[in-house]
Structure 1
Amino acid sequence: MFGNSLKKLFFLLLVKPVVFIVLGLNLYNRERLPRSGPAIIAANHNSHLDTMVLMALFPIRQLPKVRPVAAADYFLRNRLLAWFALRVIGIIPLDRQGGASREELFAECQAALDNGEILLLFPEGSRGDPEKMQPLRKGVYHLARSVAGVNVTTVVMHGLGRAMPKGGSMIVPFNCDVVVGEAHVPGDSADEFIDRLSVAFDEQLARCLTRRVEE
């Protein structure tokens, strides 16, 4: 209970003002975000701001049910960061070292989905170069298939890689785009599903105003 209250206060008093006032978002199709779980948000990943921006899109009352899936080796590397990531942000730590089976790797994610939660997942696997997409991994497909009734909503963000690039620690005010796509139902083929998500990401990226200005 204490953790949920702290999470709500953190986003209400700090994260939302920074995201919507300091950054300034061009936000498209916010109404497509799932209002309840189980559900998965699949987004591109260029910046430490990505998770904060995605969570800021949800109403404060819904935040306890919104769970980012994040790298255990990064967010649990010291006690203070681990406390903040687990108790305030509410991450689900994912072991990227490769020693666990698929069932072990996604066990906590599956439990969260069974509990009606919304997972935030970055199917590229890690942050890439600013504003450049990397190939999508198939873990998002296997996770979506592991719990009945789970759809995957794609979200594309552009500009956050410049507002806080990889390795950066300061936020640079820079207009950013967030385009929410449609929900995708995983079928019988992982390759077909990943291709479908990749096409959706490309189409949503083409809608980003900041990208068109760059071109």
Structure 2
Amino acid sequence: MLAKLMGFFLLGLVRVLTGSQARWYGCPPKAEQRIYFANHQSHADLVMIWAALPEELRSITRPIAARDYWTKSPFRQWITSAVFNAIYVERQAASPPAAPAGPAADAGGAPPGGPEPTAEAPPPPTPEALRAALPEGDPLAPLVRALESGDSIIIFPEGTRGHADDPQPFKSGLFRLAQMFPHVVLVPAWINNVQRVIPKGEVVPVPILCSVTFGAPIQLEPGEERRPFLDRARRAVMALREV
């Protein structure tokens, strides 16, 4: 009960401070499993995008929260766990598995410069196999568990807060999740002005009109490689800045 009351209080506070405008430009608010991915410039991003969702979507959507920041005090931890139902993640992003190197990596076992192997390449691993192979200590593991349980999630593919107008290059997490959950809808979002509500190093928020614009879903195309996909996802977020 206390968590629900705090949720109402925070929702009202965010709307007073920011206006909390949600703009559904490329897709309607819909109760389907989604991964919302957005730019990241403030710790308030988590609160802003949570508040922009309608109540029926907030109840099924879990934002990620940096463990080292949001568990520094019992109050922060209670807010993120009891009110936002957040998923704690480590700031150190996971790296994709390294490709094998050297002569042993040659598909046909031929030495460098030898004849091309004639055997066909093995099929790519299935989403189920990718999830099963994920180590428990991988930073993506808690997100995978949340998606497997049917939750929608909110992620920030830059990994850390940026300070420029354009988002930093996206890290590999979004690509890996798209591989493991091809049925989950990927929705880009642009959070505008929230970094001015609580500038870095400040404690007292400043009332500033903010908005969250949700764009048209994207998907991982068959055979699409990691960097082209991440660059395309980043462009999808940046395009919403002009809407």
TM-score normalised by structure 1 residue count: 0.81
Q: Does 1:176 align with 2:171?
A: no
Match of 1:164 among 198, 202, 207: 198
Q: String of CA shifts for 1:92-124, please: whole Å, max 9, x gaps.
A: 111224689864322221111122211010111
Instruction: Point out which structure has higher relative CO (alpha carbons under 8 A, 6+ apart).
Output: 2
Q: Distance in 2 between matches of 1:122 and 1:33?
A: 21
* Identity level (%): 27
Change (3 A) 1:33 1:191: farther
Change (3 A) 1:35 1:61: same
Match of 2:188 among 138, 145, 154: 154
Match of 1:193 among 229, 233, 237: 229
Q: String of CA shifts for 1:43-77, please: whole Å, max 9, x gaps.
A: 11112221111111223243232111121122223
- Note if contact 2:3-2:83 (Cα within 8 Å) is conserved in structure 1: yes
Match of 1:106 among 133, 140, 146: 140
May I ask how many residue pairs the two structures share in their alignment?
202
- Higher normalized helix content (fraction of residues): 1
Q: Distance in 2 between matches of 1:70 and 1:80?
A: 14
Give the superposition deviation at 1:172: 0.8
Change (3 A) 1:78 1:22: closer
Change (3 A) 1:158 1:131: farther
Match of 2:6 among 5, 10, 15: 10
Give the superposition deviation at 1:37: 4.2
**Structure 2 unaligned blocks of 5 or more:** 98-133
Change (3 A) 1:10 1:113: same
The AA in structure 2 aligned to 1:204 is L
TM-score normalised by structure 2 residue count: 0.73
**Structure 1 unaligned blocks of 5 or more:** 208-215
In the TM superposition, 1:58-207 aligns within 5 A as 58-97=53-92, 103=135, 104-129=138-163, 131-187=165-221, 188-207=224-243
**Higher Rg:** 2
Change (3 A) 1:160 1:195: same
Q: Distance in 2 between matches of 1:53 and 1:62?
A: 14
The AA in structure 2 aligned to 1:146 is M
Give the superposition deviation at 1:42: 0.3
The AA in structure 1 aligned to 2:143 is C
- Over aligned residues, Cα RMSD in angstroms? 2.5
